[in-house]
Each structure stands twice: as C-alpha cells, then as structure tokens.
Amino acid sequence: MARSRPLYALAVLALVLAGCSAPGSDKKDSASDTGPIKIALVDAQSGQLSSLGAWELKGAKLAVTEWNAQGGINGRQIQLDVFDDQGDPTTGTNLARKIQSEGYLAMIGTAESAVTIAMAPTLKTAEIPNITSGQSPGLVAVGSEFLFLNGPTSTTYDETLAKYIVDQQGIKSIAMITNNGSYGKGEHDAFTKALAKRSVTPVADQVVTTDQKDFSAALTSIRQKNPKLIFLGAEEVESGLIVKQARDLGITAPFAGGAPQGTPVFLNTAGAKNVEGTIVSSPYLSNDISPASKKFADAYKAAYNEDAELHGAKAYDGTQIMLTALKTSNVATGKALADAIRATKYQGLLGGFAYDNTGVGIFATSIGKIENGKLVAATG
C-alpha cells in the first residue's frame, strides 16, 4: 500500500494536468491567429497500397500549393504534413492520436477505407474533420459527422455499372471475383445488390484474399461457367494480376469494375493487351473531360512529370473543399469547420459536390472503356 501511494498520487496529478492542459494547448496550437494552418495528410507511403498514397499526396499538394501561391487563407500559409499509415489500420489509429496531440485542424486521407474507419472514432472525439478518398459504404455506416468522402461510394459506382451492363448492354451471364478486404467486400456487396435489383444472379462468386498471388483455382471455376463478363472488386495490383492470369488461362470475357481498373498501375500490371475492353465505372474518366480537368492535368504534369489520374483528382477536389470551408468559416475548427464543409457547394473535377448528412457529396459516375490502352468514355 505504501509503495503504491506515490504512484497513485502521480496518476491523479497526471490526470489533473492532462485535464486542464490538453484542450487549452490544443486550442492555442490550432486556433491561434498567426502561423501556418496545419493540415495532416495521412496515407500509405509504403507497402502494397503506396501507389494510392503517392497519388493522393500529389493531388492534395497541388491544391495546397495553389492556395499558398495566392496568399493562403486570411494571410496565413497552409502547412500540409505527411504521415505514413502503411495501409495499416493499427498504424492509422496511432496516427489519429498523433495528429490530435499535435494540433492539426483537419485531415486529408486516407485512401484506404479500412484505415479511415479505424481512425474515425478518435477523430470524432477529437472533433477533427476528415475528408477521405475511401469509397466503402462502411464509411457512411460509421456515422461520424466529421467524416466526409471526396467521391461517390461503391454503391454509386456499382449501380451505374450494373445499369450499363445489364440494362443497356443486356449482359446477364456475369461472374464475380472480389477480395475480402474492406474495399473488395464493399464492392462485392454493392454489386450483388445492384444485380439482385435487376433479378440477375451471378454465375460464379469467387472471393480471394488481399495478398493472394495465384488465382488459378478461382479463375478456372469461372472459366468453366463461361460468363460473358467478369466483375472485378480488388485493388490495382491484385486486379492486374487477376486479369493477367485470367488471360493466360484462356479467359476472353471482358472485365468490369470501379476506380482501380482505370489506373495505369492496373494497366501495367496486367499488360495493355490484356485489359482491352475493360469496362470502368469512374467519376473521372480522363484528363480531357472539362476545361477544369485539363487545367488540373497540365498543372499536375508540370509539377510531377506524370499524367494525372482519378485518385490525384479526388484528393485535389477534397483538399479544395477543405480549404474553401476553412476560408468561408474564417479558419474555424472542430464542429464549426465540419458544418462549413457540409455547407460548401463546390464544382470540382469529379462534378458538383453538395454534402448530405452522411458525408457523401457526389452521387454520379460515368462509364468508360479501355480502348487501345486508354480509358475513354463508353459509347452506348
């Protein structure tokens, strides 16, 4: 007892200190009227999902650079700091606490729904608004008023896709191959639902793991069903490997899917010849869609010497919305900033954003097709 008393006293002291100092210092750090406005970008900069993180960073950085070049917000520069979540939810939750204690006003990222969902409770308690690039319906299910998406959810992607494939093209013999990660699971459920609405049952429904490398078994059973089209719900690299192995196995049916299937990583992994005819549901088909996207693509090319794509565009839109909200709210924090984001109407690269209560701001995608190694808008 005697030994534990000083410890106990220390613990109480620590609690008291934490109780009065933490919120105070938080406020002082973030809401002070001078110094840079601190925004955290959390994304995978290493690991299998790092290409997503790299694109996100490029898009977000471009938006911040533009604002800073025009004098920032209220004369204050914007400081974008990068944190590497390694695509790992546990690392993500640690980072959520870190950006809270270091007094960041807002967060951009992550590109991985699972990581974002893991971080959401901490960010909600800390009242840090977060604009994510994830698209899993699970993000909406979290029900945090501080969580916003910079694109449509899987439901929108897959509903548009099902409409094109089943209603317009009349294809009913469809096989599915999805992974059991957060993204793949979301795609699986959303697409199955969209098919069920049209009373179509997939002829095969294969689930793979996120780091599987050999898909012979799944693909051979799909081949035996001889489908007209294969729906693909997996991230860029895995999707590419699946398509490559499918073609090696002699499967000629075209693939269809969401955002990952429109990326250069998917195309390079599978090989340009193998992805010909892939149907893609995406809110950002190419850089030539509008004057705004052309301007963005030129700036992107000038800054990074590579072609812009969907994920960079999404992050750019999300960051623009965040910065616009910071400006209209006069650099508010917490709930006031979240409300300002919700009130922001923004015409972006992906289309018109108007947030509803679920944190989703955009509800449309377009259908594209890979032709001659390039993603173009589908005709008919």
Residue closer to other proteins, measured from CB, 45 or 100: 45
Residue closer to other proteins, measured from CB, 53 or 152: 53
CA angle (185 as vertex; 155, 45 as ends), nearest 5: 100
Q: How far is the CB of 211 from other proteins (least distance, A)?
A: 6
Residue closer to other proteins, measured from CB, 87 or 258: 87
Q: Which residue has the tokens 């960010």?
A: 123
Distance of CA 34 to the CA centre of its chain: 32
How far are the Cα atoms of 158, 162, 179, 191, 307 from residue 202, in angstroms, in the given order? 14, 12, 16, 10, 36
Helix (H, G, I), strand (E, B) or coil at 212: coil
Return the closest-CA partner of residue 243 out of 269, 206, 212. 269
Q: How far is the CB of 44 from other proteins (least distance, A)?
A: 8
CA angle (116 as vertex; 103, 335 as ends), nearest 5: 45
Residue closer to other proteins, measured from CB, 249 or 292: 249
Q: How far is the CB of 340 from other proteins (least distance, A)?
A: 33
Residue closer to other proteins, measured from CB, 54 or 200: 54
Distance of CA 261 to the CA centre of its chain: 14
Q: How far is the CB of 108 from other proteins (least distance, A)?
A: 18
d(CA 7, CA 23): 25
Q: Residue numbers of the site for other proteins (CB under 8 A)?
A: 44-48, 50-51, 53-54, 179-180, 206-209, 211-218, 220-221, 224, 237, 240-241, 245, 248-250, 265, 268-269, 271
Q: How far is the CB of 182 from other proteins (least distance, A)?
A: 13
d(CA 378, CA 371): 9
Residue closer to other proteins, measured from CB, 101 or 209: 209
With contact defined as beta carbons under 8 Å apart, do 363 and 156 qualify?
A: yes
Q: How far is the CB of 219 from other proteins (least distance, A)?
A: 8
d(CA 292, CA 199): 40
